[in-house]
Structure 1
């Protein structure tokens, strides 16, 4: 009999944290699962730790993926997964004992939802990064499919090691793609682009441990520019469906970085009609208070300064601009 859930845990040189991560899955209150441990060319004791765990619990499946990269390791797990549901786990994190049970019950009770994550508890192991803390607080602040759909172009909407989804998503739309982009964000945007509905449980079901070796710190595929390129590709497809003025857009933000990142949108065929700024002194930008009433243009806000996003959204809503219809936040 096949397991209900396939938990995929790729690892590479994770000897210091792997056992703890494995144990947190084996101690789940929901027990009808398989745990696929995917070794991605480890040179430390990780493989031995995984092998010993496999001898002690028949639910563990040991896999090897020789092609380097977490996307390839994840795909190895997906190809071998037998469960109706797929759950992701990272080798340096810790799952709450009720994680699988709560996410399984949520999807069973909500057939219109395809993909569910959860909030996380942020655990830094280095000097705390305020940017990471802000990201976690942001990611923990919204939960509904509607909120996720509107916030998908700001950052990755569901923190990756919390994801839990129906295997049909993988069968229809593929797994991870390997390239010069953040593979986890690309996969979520691709699923959303195809109409998948994502939700997030309001409970902290994962300890998200932050080490200096985290890929988001060390791999160029997680650079800000790589994120914007990925956003631009999927935003073009989103705009075709939701922007009444497609391909025409207005960009909120006239700074140097915003102008540079706007070129990613132009490369996707979007036409920038003008720029909007909070300063009257920008000669080639419209002063924000001079914007027309809603229904005459579509705005993409690309301002990333702390707190600015909320102020821009609040201002536009005061002017009767509707998120997802008259404007979208990006960046």
Structure 2
């Protein structure tokens, strides 16, 4: 397959300040065999007229009204109208590099179905980027450079939502945008993983990711920390959990408590450990907190690690390595 049609899916809502820059970056693509399915999610500003003006000038731009409400229905609306062999996402407030579509399309043509093309990303903002976003960008790009994004799957969303591309047939096999589960990009990342898609290494920055105060991921309840934890636990229990092994939760902070409470509600047995002397032997939710050294006495276990401090994470890795435990098999970092 040479020069396949690429369908670019964009939901938008009230992003008039950024839409023209986004659209211009798509028009400047070196790879020209694309169609843009762009869906208005009930904007109340001038976003719709801006896109409509672009659509009048270029028949590749196809503008729709959302058939539902929210990002997931908007993506379904776009996907239902797409004709491309390859599918990619884009956010209406971001900017593509001129080689973005061509680079990812060529990678997919070279490697074939069953693969996932991912580009490196660069955050930008009028006020500068926080240390947290800088660290996430660095972490994400290091994974993308090697094509092993799924190694960090349970820590964070390891596939940037506006910078991936897959064969349409693979996206359909993964359930496309059918599940009503937010954050939708993280859920789709897990489904890529569940269906065995293989990441393709990429050493290029292909996407400029804008950060600002009213960005959806900052303002919508669907992107709160508890939603991410719910998805992690959902897929861990579906894809990784071995009932023959003792399940262990390591960490007594807010995330550890959230996971523990969810497991108790599901009536799933686990042991709860930490290294905080103030919490060891305490009763939390009817469960006794134990010292992590008890793991020396358990023959076979699976661990969910909810400790966020990076130095402590390294100590935990060394301890588990000493027990001959392997990441993404015997233990999973949830932060």
Residue 14 of structure 1 corresponds to which residue in structure 2? 15
Tell me how far apart the structure 2 counterparts of residues 145 and 232 of structure 1 sit (CA, whole Å).
26
User: C-alpha root-mean-square deviation of aligned residues, in Å?
Assistant: 2.5
Tell me how far apart the structure 2 counterparts of residues 253 and 164 of structure 1 sit (CA, whole Å).
36
The Cα of 1:266 is off from its aligned counterpart by: 4.2
Out of 79-88 and 307-316, give the one that drifted further: 307-316
Residue 298 of structure 1 corresponds to which residue in structure 2? 302
The Cα of 1:11 is off from its aligned counterpart by: 1.1
> Per the alignment, in what secondary structure is the counterpart of residue 149 of structure 2?
helix
Residue 277 of structure 1 corresponds to which residue in structure 2? 274
Tell me how far apart the structure 2 counterparts of residues 119 and 307 of structure 1 sit (CA, whole Å).
26
Residue 214 of structure 1 corresponds to which residue in structure 2? 215
Tell me how far apart the structure 1 counterparts of residues 41 and 172 of structure 2 sit (CA, whole Å).
23
Residue 118 of structure 2 is aligned to residue 117 of structure 1? yes
Measured against aligned partners, the alpha-carbon deviations of 1:231-259 in whole angstroms (never above 9, x if no partner) come to 1111111124xx4735x311111335412
Tell me how far apart the structure 2 counterparts of residues 144 and 285 of structure 1 sit (CA, whole Å).
40
Residue 293 of structure 1 contacts residue 320 of structure 1 at CA under 8 Å; is this kept in 2?
A: no
Residue 97 of structure 2 contacts residue 208 of structure 2 at CA under 8 Å; is this kept in 1?
A: yes
Alignment of 1:204-243 (within 5 A): 204-240=205-241, 243=242
Tell me how far apart the structure 2 counterparts of residues 294 and 164 of structure 1 sit (CA, whole Å).
43
Residue 324 of structure 2 corresponds to which residue in structure 1? 320
**Residues 307/32 of structure 1: CA separation in 2 closer, same or farther (3 Å cut):** farther
Tell me how far apart the structure 2 counterparts of residues 221 and 158 of structure 1 sit (CA, whole Å).
18
Residue 251 of structure 2 contacts residue 274 of structure 2 at CA under 8 Å; is this kept in 1?
A: yes
Residue 291 of structure 2 is aligned to residue 287 of structure 1? yes
Measured against aligned partners, the alpha-carbon deviations of 1:184-211 in whole angstroms (never above 9, x if no partner) come to 1112212322333334523211110001
The Cα of 1:105 is off from its aligned counterpart by: 1.3
The Cα of 1:287 is off from its aligned counterpart by: 3.4
**Residues 303/117 of structure 1: CA separation in 2 closer, same or farther (3 Å cut):** same
Gaps of 5+ in 1: none
Alignment of 1:50-65 (within 5 A): 50-65=51-66
**Residues 62/42 of structure 1: CA separation in 2 closer, same or farther (3 Å cut):** same
Residue 181 of structure 2 is aligned to residue 184 of structure 1? no
**Residues 85/261 of structure 1: CA separation in 2 closer, same or farther (3 Å cut):** same
Residue 247 of structure 2 corresponds to which residue in structure 1? 249
The Cα of 1:164 is off from its aligned counterpart by: 0.9
Tell me how far apart the structure 1 counterparts of residues 200 and 68 of structure 2 sit (CA, whole Å).
32
Tell me how far apart the structure 1 counterparts of residues 11 and 88 of structure 2 sit (CA, whole Å).
12
Q: Given the two structures, how large is their TM-score scaled by the length of structure 1?
A: 0.89
Alignment of 1:73-92 (within 5 A): 73-92=74-93
**Residues 90/200 of structure 1: CA separation in 2 closer, same or farther (3 Å cut):** farther
The Cα of 1:290 is off from its aligned counterpart by: 5.4
Residue 158 of structure 1 contacts residue 200 of structure 1 at CA under 8 Å; is this kept in 2?
A: no
Q: Given the two structures, how large is their TM-score scaled by the length of structure 2?
A: 0.88
Q: How many residues align?
A: 326
Tell me how far apart the structure 2 counterparts of residues 294 and 21 of structure 1 sit (CA, whole Å).
54
The Cα of 1:3 is off from its aligned counterpart by: 5.7
Residue 148 of structure 2 contacts residue 199 of structure 2 at CA under 8 Å; is this kept in 1?
A: no
Gaps of 5+ in 2: 282-287
